[in-house]
Amino acid sequence: MKHSLVFVATTPFAVNAFLRAHLLALAETHEVTLCVNTTAYPLVEDVARAVQVRHIDIARKIAPWQDLRALFQLLRCFREMRPATVHSLTPKAGLVAMLASWLARVPLRFHTFTGQVWATRSGISRTLLKSIDRLIALCASRVFADSVSQCRFLEVEGVVGRGGVTVLGQGSVAGVDLARFRPNPAARATLRAETGVPDDVPVFLFVGRLVRDKGVIDLVEAFATLSARHGEWELWMVGPDEEGLRAILQTEGERLGARIRWFGPTHTPERYMAAADVFVLPSYREGFGSVIIEAAACGIPTIAYRIDGVIDAIVEDRTGCLVAKGDVGGLARAMAQLGCAQEMSVSLGEAARQRAVDNFSSSAVCAAWLTFYGSVLKEAA
């Protein structure tokens, strides 16, 4: 018997990044529908061919009238389809999907939390956004997070009750594609040659959105303090400039004499990971830190702030280094340590890769999703 499964996300970007493998696998034995704002970002072709896609006018930011319209679009869709399950990802999709599926009496309503926007907020903004997550949890029949520490955080903050949120598999929503993210000496040599950086010069790498929450200001400041003693070391910044910070950071880096290269957004982060020596992510909030596992699969260790989510992606002093959140001096010291101790960096990177292979392959995470859906659908039959 083919069950009707519905997945809801705000934009195809999240689908491409987190749900692709799961949707393709589930579509082999079930009727899968994806509800998403198709105008926001292109959806990968194999997903578009494998599942039924419905456009829902979901906005990323709070937009009351558009949000209400999306809620009624989903409600009409669920009443028409009468699916066995609805599973949402991303905050706004979670809000409208869980409300609509609860109103439509969908029997199995799932939501996956992938990090809380309000974790770094204060005042009314924090209260409002946190209340939205509480409402999502109340309307869902079951909620998940992508890391064990995030589960604890949601419980401590009162978003869910004790034991009210779980993790599928070892954590991470999508896992890492080990065929794509791997040590690649040829790619390393090519990019090093293109940039003119000798193989023995330490390269620190950041991949992500250039926003304050990712700690990019801290990172540039920390790296700049190393430049007086290690002028040949390089920091590579890869990612879209979503808050207009690049010009300011670039000017500051040049003023301090730091060798920082700005590559902009990319569809091939594995190319930069293969060519770098240490990944650095001084983020102030993360759901899990999937990019850390991608870097690990490429055989490089990570230096990061000790925050929920990230502490599940890094085993301290075994696959990387953790620094107290906001400790720019500690961040600089950790970078100096790994930059000077190449053998330590290589050892940490090897352990990081092995852990990624053992626990976080995309196939392992996908298998956990399939096992879960097989179990709940069998019980519901």
66-78 tens-digit pLDDT: 999 999 999 999 9
Residues 9-34 have pLDDT tens digits of 999 988 988 899 999 999 999 999 99
Domain contains 17: yes
| Type of residue numbered 23 | L
Domain contains 16: yes
pLDDT at 13: 85
Pick the closest to residue 325 from 350, 300, 299, 307 (CA basis).
307
Reply yes or no on whether the pLDDT at 1 is more than 80: no
Same domain for 31 and 109, yes or no, is yes
Same domain for 83 and 203, yes or no, is no
Residues 135-163 have pLDDT tens digits of 999 999 999 999 999 999 999 999 999 99
Same domain for 218 and 233, yes or no, is yes
The alpha-carbon radius of gyration of the chain (Å, integer) is: 21
Q: Domains in the chain: how many in total? A: 2
Same domain for 199 and 347, yes or no, is yes
Reply yes or no on whether the pLDDT at 381 is more than 80: no
- Whole-model pTM? 0.87
CATH of residue 75: 3.40.50.2000
pLDDT at 60: 81
Reply yes or no on whether the pLDDT at 275 is more than 70: yes
Which contiguous run of DSSP H or E holds residue 124? helix 123-139
pLDDT at 29: 93
Q: Which single residue is written with the structure tokens 């009162």?
A: 158
Domain contains 254: yes
pLDDT at 252: 85
Containing domain of residue 106, as a range?
Answer: 4-175+362-380
What are the structure tokens assigned to 111, written together? 């939501």
Domain contains 180: no
**Cβ distance 205 to 273 under 8 Å?**
yes
| Type of residue numbered 365 | V
Domain contains 142: yes
Same domain for 90 and 127, yes or no, is yes
3 state DSSP class of 224: helix
Query: CA-to-CA distance for 140 and 123, rounded, in angstroms?
Result: 26
Same domain for 135 and 259, yes or no, is no
Mean pLDDT of 306-323: 95
Pick the closest to residue 18 from 26, 9, 27, 29 (CA basis).
9
Mean pLDDT of 99-106: 97
Same domain for 264 and 147, yes or no, is no
Same domain for 201 and 345, yes or no, is yes
Query: CA-to-CA distance for 76 and 101, rounded, in angstroms?
Result: 10
pLDDT at 320: 97
Domain contains 75: yes
pLDDT at 172: 87
Q: Specify the length of the chain in residues.
A: 381
Same domain for 234 and 89, yes or no, is no
Query: CA-to-CA distance for 118 and 372, rounded, in angstroms?
Result: 29
Query: CA-to-CA distance for 37 and 89, rounded, in angstroms?
Result: 13
Same domain for 106 and 225, yes or no, is no
Same domain for 198 and 328, yes or no, is yes
Same domain for 14 and 146, yes or no, is yes
Distance of alpha carbon 179 from the chain centroid: 19
| Gap between the terminal Cα atoms of the chain | 9
Domain contains 308: yes
Query: CA-to-CA distance for 11 and 35, rounded, in angstroms?
Result: 9
In the chain, beta strands by DSSP E = 4-9, 31-36, 52-55, 85-89, 108-113, 142-145, 165-166, 203-207, 234-238, 260-264, 278-281, 302-305, 320-323
Residues 205-214 have pLDDT tens digits of 999 989 999 9
Residues 354-376 have pLDDT tens digits of 999 999 999 999 999 999 999 99
Domain contains 258: yes
Pick the closest to residue 243 from 216, 206, 266 (CA basis).
216
pLDDT at 255: 86
Mean pLDDT of 264-289: 93
More confident residue, 56 or 172: 56
